[in-house]
């Protein structure tokens, strides 16, 4: 009874406040009519607009409020420490550029994955951490690992994720579980990754660029559905622990050249990396396998040569059952991968376009252009991106010369010829410069659009 009475009072007060608000606005406009000579048609138009805004405020207020970003769940640091057995090596699931990941068992019996991050202790770094984690925790998609919550103690930050029992994709491609994925599972993983990236780039409130798409950052659930991990974390690293500078050698085979060399960041950087992962899934090979001969060491280069020779089917993993897939279907997906890794950034498809291409039954001929990639010595192989500004002046060509003292390499940068050591120093300076000028405009522009919408 008391609850019903309270609800009636609340509804009555709400209705009275709305009526009062409308009456006040009408009174103000009547006063304007009395004191100023106003065009009547314009006044009617303004009144209609006012009524529309009032209806939007009253009727859609709850809906708009529901779309506000919600903060992540806060965990006690001590509870997570106990859950991971004091972050013991036995509980470690893996390690990467963003920090170590540990398996944890919460008090309620739920199994989670806990990632340890170290961020700067400045007030700005704390604010960045809180805003970015809040943003990440609101990302919900079946192909993205969900952030459950976080905890912070000093400079150490803990992120709590849902636990994936099957671990990462690389274990199934070239690890201890190699050869256990059939063709249908591999195809579903490719499509799921594309959908997850399309959501991050185009369907979420703001555009989130992952920057580090690779097979070890793709986790598999119990049904072998892919879930992309570590998205949105690139901004959480301190300046002196830049992910690109500390782990650049480890992700050379995936990094788009225009980002690694020129610092040009766009969602097409993820598209490029996704194309490389497609080739890994189909071939069961690493993007850069130093155990192979130089001619076949780089997966992307090998795929392009096979494409030119019209022999793409040779790229397929030998452990796959040939009765499980159609050669034409496999060729089409490899061509989509080559489309994603084209030199010209503008020529690469968006991830939503990739999803359509993957699911389309239309066998239209795809004509990718030559890809560009960075080899193990940080040299650009293939053509430079035509979309890069002043690419002609920045284009780098490597020529190997042989002498009695051994192999030496000269690099042409514009009209200048520099030695291998100077070239390497130049590349490091370019990478450092790219890190120092992290572009936050897209995310802030998106947040402003969302708040004002």
Q: What's the CA gap between 309 and 354, in Å, rounded? A: 24
Is the pLDDT confidence value at 61 over 70? Answer: no
| Predicted local distance difference test score (pLDDT) of residue 104 | 95
Lowest mean pLDDT among 100-104, 282-286, 304-308, 421-425: 421-425
Answer with the residue of higher pLDDT: 242 or 209.
209
Catalytic residues: 212
Between 181 and 68, residue with greater pLDDT: 181
What span, in angstroms and rounded, lies between the C-alpha atoms of 200 and 204? 6
Q: Which residues sit in the known binding site for ATP? A: 115
CATH architecture of 170-452: Orthogonal Bundle (1.10)
Boundaries of every domain in the chain = 73-162, 170-452
pLDDT digits (tens, 9 = 90+) for 388-439: 333 333 333 333 333 333 333 444 444 344 444 455 555 555 555 554 444 4
Mean pLDDT of 165-174: 91
Whether the CB-CB separation of 163 and 196 falls below 8 Å is answered with: no
pLDDT at 167 over 60: yes
> pLDDT digits over 337-384, tens only?
999 999 899 999 999 999 999 999 876 778 899 887 665 555 566 554
Q: Which of 410, 435, 407 is nearest to 421 (CA)?
A: 410
For the purposes of burial, counting CB atoms within 10 Å of the CB of 404, is it exposed (0-12), middle (13-18) or buried (19 or more)?
exposed
Pairing of strands 147-153, 73-74: parallel
Burial of 122 (0-12, 13-18, 19+ CB in 10 A): exposed
Helix (H, G, I), strand (E, B) or coil at 132: helix
Question: Are the CB atoms for 99 and 158 separated by under 8 Å?
Answer: no
Contacts of 7 (CB under 8 A, 6+ apart): none
DSSP 92-131: EEEEETTEEEEEEE-TTS-EEEEEEEE---SHHHHHHHHH
Comparing 67 with 252, which gets the higher pLDDT? 252
d(CA 171, CA 174): 6
Alpha-carbon gap, residue 139 to 208, rounded angstroms: 10
Strand order across the beta sheet in which 111-118 lies: 73-74, 147-153, 156-162, 111-118, 99-105, 92-96
Summarize pLDDT for 430-450 with one digit per residue, the tens.
Answer: 555 554 444 444 444 443 443
With 70 as the cut, is the pLDDT of residue 121 above it? no
pLDDT at 428: 54
Is residue 290 scored above 90 in pLDDT? no
User: Measured in Å, how far apart are the chain's first and last C-alpha atoms?
Assistant: 40
* CA–CA separation, 250 and 170 (whole Å): 14
Question: Tokens standing for 290?
Answer: 């130093």
Total count of residues recorded for the chain: 453
Answer yes or no: is pLDDT of 325 > 50: yes
Q: Could you tell me if 413 and 426 are in contact, meaning their C-beta atoms sit under 8 angstroms apart? A: yes
Among the four given CATH numbers 3.30.200.20, 3.30.310.50, 3.40.50.300, 3.40.50.20, the one describing domain 73-162: 3.30.200.20
Count of CB atoms situated within 10 Å of the CB of 435: 17
In percent, the amount of the chain with pLDDT more than 90 equals 38
Residue 33 — pLDDT band, cuts 50, 70, 90? Answer: low
């Amino acid at each position: 009874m008391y609850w019903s009475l309270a609800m009636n009072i609340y509804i009555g007060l709400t209705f009275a406040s709305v009526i009062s608000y409308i009456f006040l606005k009408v009174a103000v406009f009547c006063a304007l009519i009395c004191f100023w000579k106003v065009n009547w048609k314009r006044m009617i138009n303004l009144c209609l607009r006012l009524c529309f805004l009032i209806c939007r405020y009253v009727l859609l207020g709850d809906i708009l409020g529901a779309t506000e970003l919600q903060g992540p769940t806060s965990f006690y640091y001590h509870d997570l420490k106990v859950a991971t057995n004091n972050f013991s090596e036995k509980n470690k699931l893996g390690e990467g550029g963003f920090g170590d990941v540990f398996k944890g068992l919460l008090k309620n019996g739920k199994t989670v994955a806990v990632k340890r991050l170290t961020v700067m202790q400045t007030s700005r770094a704390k604010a960045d951490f809180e805003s970015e984690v809040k943003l990440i925790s609101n990302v919900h998609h079946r192909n993205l690992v969900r952030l459950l919550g976080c905890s912070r103690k000093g400079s150490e930050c803990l992120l709590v994720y849902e636990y994936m029992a099957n671990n990462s994709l690389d274990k199934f491609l070239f690890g201890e579980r190699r050869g256990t994925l059939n063709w249908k599972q591999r195809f579903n993983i490719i499509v799921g990754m594309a959908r997850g990236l399309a959501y991050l780039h185009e369907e979420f409130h703001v555009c989130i660029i992952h920057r580090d798409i690779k097979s070890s950052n793709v986790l598999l659930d119990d049904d072998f559905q892919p879930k992309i991990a570590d998205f949105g974390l690139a901004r959480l690293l301190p300046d002196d622990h830049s992910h690109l500078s500390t782990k650049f050698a480890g992700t050379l085979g995936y990094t788009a050249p225009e980002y690694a060399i020129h610092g040009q960041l766009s969602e097409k950087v993820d598209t490029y990396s996704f194309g490389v992962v497609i080739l890994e899934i189909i071939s069961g090979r690493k993007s850069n396998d130093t155990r192979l001969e130089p001619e076949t060491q780089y997966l992307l280069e090998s795929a392009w040569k096979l494409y030119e020779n019209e022999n793409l089917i040779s790229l397929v993993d030998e452990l796959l059952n040939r009765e499980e897939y159609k050669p034409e279907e496999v060729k089409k997906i490899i061509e989509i991968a080559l489309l994603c890794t084209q030199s010209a950034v503008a020529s690469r498809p968006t991830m939503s376009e990739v999803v359509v291409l993957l699911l389309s039954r239309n066998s239209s001929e795809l004509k990718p252009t030559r890809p560009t990639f960075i080899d193990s010595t940080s040299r650009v192989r293939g053509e430079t991106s035509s979309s890069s500004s002043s690419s002609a002046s920045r284009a780098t060509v490597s020529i190997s010369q042989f002498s009695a003292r051994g192999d030496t390499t000269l690099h042409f940068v514009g009209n200048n010829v520099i030695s291998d050591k100077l070239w390497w120093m130049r590349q490091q300076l370019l990478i450092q410069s790219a890190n120092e000028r992290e572009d936050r405009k897209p995310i802030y522009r998106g947040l402003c659009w969302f708040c004002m919408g």
